[in-house]
Amino acid sequence: MVDVPLGPIGTAPSPATEDVELYHPHSWVTKYVFSQDAKIIAIQYSFVALTVGLIALVLSWLMRLQLGFPGVFTFIDANAYYQFITMHGMMMVVYVLTALFLGGFGNYLIPLMVGARDMVFPYLNMLSFWVYLLAVLILVASFFAPGGPTGAGWTLYPPQAIMSGTPGGQDWGIVLMLVSLMVFIIGFTMGGLNYVVTVLQARARGMTLMRMPLTVWGIFTASFMALLAFPALFVGAVMMLFDRALGTSFFMPAIVEMGQTLDRSGGSPLLFQHLFWFFGHPEVYIVALPAFGIVSDLISTHARRNIFGYRMMVWALLAIGALSFVVWAHHMYVSGMNPYFGFFFATTTLIIAIPTAIKVYNWILTLWRGDIHLNVPMLFALAFIVTFLNGGLTGLFLGNVVVDVPLSDTMFVVAHFHMVMGVAPILVIFGAIYHWYPKVTGRMLNDTLGKLHFWVTFLGAYAIFFPMHYLGLMGVPRRYHEIGEMAFVPPSAHTLNAFITIVALIVGAVQLVFVFNLFWSLRHGRPSGGNPWRATTLEWQTPETPPPHGNWGKELPVVYRWAYDYSVPGAAEDFLPQNQPNAQATAGLAHG
């Protein structure tokens, strides 16, 4: 028996709820370029984000080449190294992960999964993408600006970020970075309002909040959080831009640069850190929550079992979202805060482990005695669980002040956040692309290439990031251009670094197999039909695949059940789509 009631379903005419007035494109340009269709916008977002991802991947290669073989590649001097590290971080976190999960998956899946024809404000949605593209162009332009991009580290801490010792600090780099972030935030706000209002106000008949697939819950919560977290970054960016361009001293204390006393005083560098991390920590969960949601759906679908503890999953998502706004200063234990703050923030940080653990247990209990299909999306989903668990456990180390202080600014931190918010969400992104590609294109991705991609990526990621924990425990610092001769760093650390670099090159190269698969399957993939995974959620029940403009044809779907009716005892099929009425579903069901 499923533990969620199949009802209630209203029969009375519903109160005034508007239907979408769709914009009908008149030309190829308004249909595919300046499109107001969320599905096209989603593809545009994903394409741009994946392209930025490839750029950021190449940057990580360059960094690894320097770390693995210091001195061999002379064009990677200290300045270039810092520029690569900064751009890699900022691109991956904001312009790839946030944009891909919310702009890409959010746009594609929200209207389809809640049974809407489109986002509620299609025009604004279109603007959102073009503003995002503008932000990306401004960011990429800094590679070609005088002085190159900023090398301040992705956290852009002042005062160094705007001083002459830092690459781009007194050139264009930091200015372009800050402007790009502000533009991104404006564009995201347009999209984020759409995602949130669509989920809240434009669901199908019968689609209650507690019947929504967890994917929608994850993206919805993350979008809402982003609307509240990005303002802090926006304000920080405005103030730093003023410091850099107008000579104000918001973040600048009295300071000496190259032997010269600067004409600044009274500012607070800590203030920027607070603003940045008030955005930065929720940002971790803005990336993680959509991944949590998507992975729940992947596991449930491919294990043919209802998700374990659906309600707890939803409440855990919301709890994580709320808690993530009161933990930001755990990034600042070594910054010189009042020690009592550290105590408070360590406590809240560790409390987050509870809802997170609930989710991990529920995923495992969903798999328990499930009919597990080890296809490519499922492999990625399983890989996510272990990777996230690993990254989460090292998070417990770093959340404690006394353990964090010695580990801070070592490779241990790099290993931790790459596992938990780098590799883990990207594994979900891959799994999700393999899962939903058939709906987007009508064809399956190639399975053999997919498995090759999976195994090399998964094992490779561990070969890269596991050793970094050891490096960190030995005290190898992060963000160093060259470790050089340090008494406490044994020669084996250098060998390990070379090993990591070689694996990183291989893992990076395998992503080209994935890109090839994406394009090759567009033509040559096996036709998938409308519902190749025999899934319950609404997006698989569209009359046509890929879904046309307006998604549903004449009639909007009516929802009769939650999203997880897999292997219901007595039902004819092992899945009951959300829009299947009870009478049909329970025919021959021998209970009252």
Partner 1 sequence: MTEQAFSNIDAKHSESSGLRSIAADFSSDRSAFRNVSWGKAMMWIFLLSDTFVFSSFLIAYMTARMSTTVPWPNPSEVFALTIGGVTLPLILIAIMTFVLISSSGTMAMAVNFAYRRDRRKTAALMLLTALLGAAFVGMQAFEWSKLIHEGVRPWSNPWGAAQFGSSFFMITGFHGTHVTFGVIFLLIIARKVWRGDFDQERRGFFTSRKGRYEAVEIMGLYWHFVDLVWVFIFAFFYLW
The alpha carbon torsion through 500, 506, 511, 515 (nearest 10 deg) reads: 160
Among 265, 347, 492, 584, binds partner 1 (CB under 8 A): 265
Site residues (CB under 8 A) for partner 1, limited to 105-144: 120-123
Give the SS3 label for residue 19: coil
Give the SS3 label for residue 35: coil
Nearer to partner 1 (CB atom), residue 46 or residue 578: 578
> Looking at 52-60, 241-249, 431-439, 481-489, which segment touches partner 1 (CB under 8 A)?
241-249
Does residue number 515 form part of the binding site for partner 1 (CB under 8 A)?
no
Instruction: Give the C-alpha separation, 320 to 293, whole Å.
Output: 13
> Looking at 245-253, 306-314, 443-451, 463-471, which segment touches partner 1 (CB under 8 A)?
245-253
- Shortest distance in whole angstroms from residue 31 CB to partner 1: 14
Helix (H) or strand (E) holding 400: none
Does residue number 8 form part of the binding site for partner 1 (CB under 8 A)?
yes
Does residue number 263 form part of the binding site for partner 1 (CB under 8 A)?
yes
Give the SS3 label for residue 582: helix
Neighbours of 259 (CB within 10 A): 5
User: Using an 8 Å Cβ cutoff, are 103 and 293 in contact?
Assistant: no
* Cα Dmax for the chain: 86
- Shortest distance in whole angstroms from residue 117 CB to partner 1: 13
Does residue number 81 form part of the binding site for partner 1 (CB under 8 A)?
no
Number of residues that bind partner 1 (CB under 8 A): 69
Count of alpha carbons within 13 angstroms of residue 489, beta-carbon side: 17
Count of alpha carbons within 13 angstroms of residue 529, beta-carbon side: 5
Nearer to partner 1 (CB atom), residue 55 or residue 559: 559
CA-based nearest residue to 9, from 560, 538, 587: 560
Name the residue type at position 73: F
- Shortest distance in whole angstroms from residue 233 CB to partner 1: 9
Does residue number 310 form part of the binding site for partner 1 (CB under 8 A)?
no
Nearer to partner 1 (CB atom), residue 199 or residue 493: 199
- Shortest distance in whole angstroms from residue 448 CB to partner 1: 43
The DSSP annotation for 308-362 comes to: TTHHHHHHHHHHHHHHGGG-GGGG-TTTT--HHHHHHHHHHHHHTHHHHHHHHHH
Among 14, 27, 338, 448, binds partner 1 (CB under 8 A): 14
Instruction: Give the C-alpha separation, 245 to 169, whole Å.
Output: 11
Residue 540: DSSP 8-state? G
User: Using an 8 Å Cβ cutoff, are 116 and 47 in contact?
Assistant: no
Site residues (CB under 8 A) for partner 1, limited to 216-235: 224, 227-228, 230-232, 234-235
Does residue number 591 form part of the binding site for partner 1 (CB under 8 A)?
yes
Does residue number 17 form part of the binding site for partner 1 (CB under 8 A)?
yes
Does residue number 207 form part of the binding site for partner 1 (CB under 8 A)?
yes
Among 29, 137, 254, 393, binds partner 1 (CB under 8 A): 254
Does residue number 338 form part of the binding site for partner 1 (CB under 8 A)?
no
Nearer to partner 1 (CB atom), residue 77 or residue 263: 263
Tokens 């959340």: give the residue: 399
Among 239, 313, 407, 413, binds partner 1 (CB under 8 A): 239
Nearer to partner 1 (CB atom), residue 250 or residue 388: 250
Does residue number 362 form part of the binding site for partner 1 (CB under 8 A)?
no
The DSSP annotation for 416-484 comes to: HHIIIIIIHHHHHHHHHHHHHHHHHHSBPPPHHHHHHHHHHHHHHHHHHHHHHHHHHHHTPBSS-S---
Instruction: Give the C-alpha separation, 330 to 281, whole Å.
Output: 9
x/- binding map, residues 173-202, to partner 1, per CB under 8 A? ----------------x--xxx-xx--xxx
Among 164, 208, 347, 584, binds partner 1 (CB under 8 A): 208
- Shortest distance in whole angstroms from residue 21 CB to partner 1: 5
Q: Where on the chain is the footprint of partner 1 (CB under 8 A)?
A: 1, 5-12, 14-18, 21, 23, 120-123, 189, 192-194, 196-197, 200-211, 224, 227-228, 230-232, 234-236, 238-239, 242, 246-250, 254, 263, 265-268, 271, 274-275, 278, 559, 582, 591-592
